[in-house]
């Protein structure tokens, strides 16, 4: 990614648009699915995406659509004096992500985004950043967490854990992995969504988790959740959990001094 601001939705959108526009001249009439795979750094432009890569492309484009909506909303709700002018590019942006036709030319909708559009979005990003910026998670911290996930995923897959518990833990690890991969698109909001999913899943599967709590893989899984919890809590500045979830996830704060429980409804 380029050095645009990542502390607000418009800044993250600008960064993705810059990458897309930089590659549109090289990719010409290349299919949209290949173009977006290149933009999201899922592969080079020489080959057609594999089935697994196509799934990833669709997930990223869904998140990009959400980002466009979030960027528009944050400008509308801002007190920026030129907010109406900053909103002008969004009619074109909403048609830029062709989920129903990934075989069309990648460059066509990208080229509809003008330099004037980019200037307006960059000004909006600067203004939002100066007024109320989000916290940004260091790439090194996310990379360390990603490595832990990969290592535990392989370990759980080869373990003798109860089959239902094994599938559950693997799904939870995949949820965190996907959120980290999509962080560059939707920022801490995406991490919060994943944490809410993790807490809900843990609550529903608490009995089967505790039944095999003496297994080393379960202990490592809990430690990894604690690490993820700390990352999201710090980045999103969340407030305490309430109700049953606070009891279920009490272990997360043990060994994490001075960090309060988290409010997933924030």
Report the chain's mean pLDDT, rounded to a whole number: 84
Q: Rounded distance, CA 29 to CA 106, Å?
A: 6
Mean pLDDT along residues 108-118 = 93
The pLDDT value recorded for residue 259 is 37
Mean pLDDT along residues 128-136 = 80
The pLDDT value recorded for residue 231 is 87
Most confident of 148-152, 255-259, 260-264: 148-152
Specify the pTM: 0.80
The pLDDT value recorded for residue 251 is 52
The pLDDT value recorded for residue 245 is 46
Most confident of 159-163, 235-239, 248-252: 159-163
pLDDT band of residue 250 (cuts 50, 70, 90) is: low
Q: Is the pLDDT of residue 255 over 60?
A: no
pLDDT band of residue 48 (cuts 50, 70, 90) is: confident
The pLDDT value recorded for residue 112 is 92
Q: Is the pLDDT of residue 80 over 70?
A: yes
Judged by average pLDDT, the poorest of 44-48, 59-63, 209-213 is 44-48
The pLDDT value recorded for residue 237 is 65
Percent of the chain with pLDDT over 90: 52
Q: Is the pLDDT of residue 69 over 90?
A: yes
Is 168 in contact with 201 (CB distance < 8 Å)?
A: yes
Mean pLDDT along residues 42-71 = 88
The pLDDT value recorded for residue 242 is 43
The pLDDT value recorded for residue 98 is 75
């Amino acid at each position: 990614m380029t050095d645009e601001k990542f502390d607000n939705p418009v800044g993250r959108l600008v960064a993705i648009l810059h990458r897309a526009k930089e590659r549109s001249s090289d990719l010409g009439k290349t299919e949209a699915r290949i173009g977006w795979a290149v933009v999201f750094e899922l592969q080079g432009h020489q080959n057609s995406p594999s089935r697994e890569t196509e799934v990833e492309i669709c997930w990223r484009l869904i998140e990009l659509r959400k980002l466009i909506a979030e960027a528009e909303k944050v400008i509308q709700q801002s007190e920026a004096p030129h907010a109406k002018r900053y909103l002008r590019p969004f009619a074109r942006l909403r048609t830029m992500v062709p989920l129903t036709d990934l075989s069309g030319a990648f460059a066509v909708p990208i080229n509809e985004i003008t330099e004037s559009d980019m200037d307006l979005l960059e000004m909006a990003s600067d203004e939002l950043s100066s007024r109320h910026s989000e916290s940004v998670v260091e790439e090194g911290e996310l990379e360390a967490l990603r490595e832990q996930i990969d290592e535990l995923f392989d370990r759980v897959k080869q373990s003798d854990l109860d089959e239902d518990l094994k599938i559950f833990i693997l799904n939870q690890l995949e949820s965190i992995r996907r959120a980290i991969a999509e962080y560059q698109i939707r920022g801490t909001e995406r991490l919060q969504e994943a944490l809410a999913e993790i807490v809900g899943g843990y609550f529903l599967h608490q009995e089967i988790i505790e039944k095999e709590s003496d297994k080393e893989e379960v202990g490592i899984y809990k430690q990894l959740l604690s690490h993820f919890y700390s990352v999201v809590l710090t980045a999103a500045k969340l407030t305490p959990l309430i109700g049953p979830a606070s009891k279920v996830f009490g272990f997360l704060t043990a060994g994490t001094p001075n960090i309060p429980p988290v409010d997933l409804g924030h």
